[in-house]
Amino acid sequence: ESSNSNVNTNNYNLLSGLLKEFFNVDNNSS
C-alpha cells in the first residue's frame, strides 16, 4: 500500500512539474 502511495506521489510531482513548465512556456511566448 505504501509503495502504491509513493508511486502516486511521484506521478503527481511529475505532472505538476510538466504543468508548470507548460504554463511557463505559454506565458513567456505571449
pLDDT, residue 5, reads 94
Single-letter residue type at 8: N
| Domain boundary assignment for the chain | 1-30
Q: What is the pLDDT along the chain (30 residues), one digit of tens a residue?
A: 688 999 999 999 999 999 999 989 877 776
What is the distance between the alpha carbons of residues 2 and 8, in angstroms, rounded to a whole number? 10
pLDDT, residue 2, reads 81
pLDDT, residue 27, reads 74
Per the listing, cell 508511486 goes with 7
What is the distance between the alpha carbons of residues 3 and 17, in angstroms, rounded to a whole number? 21
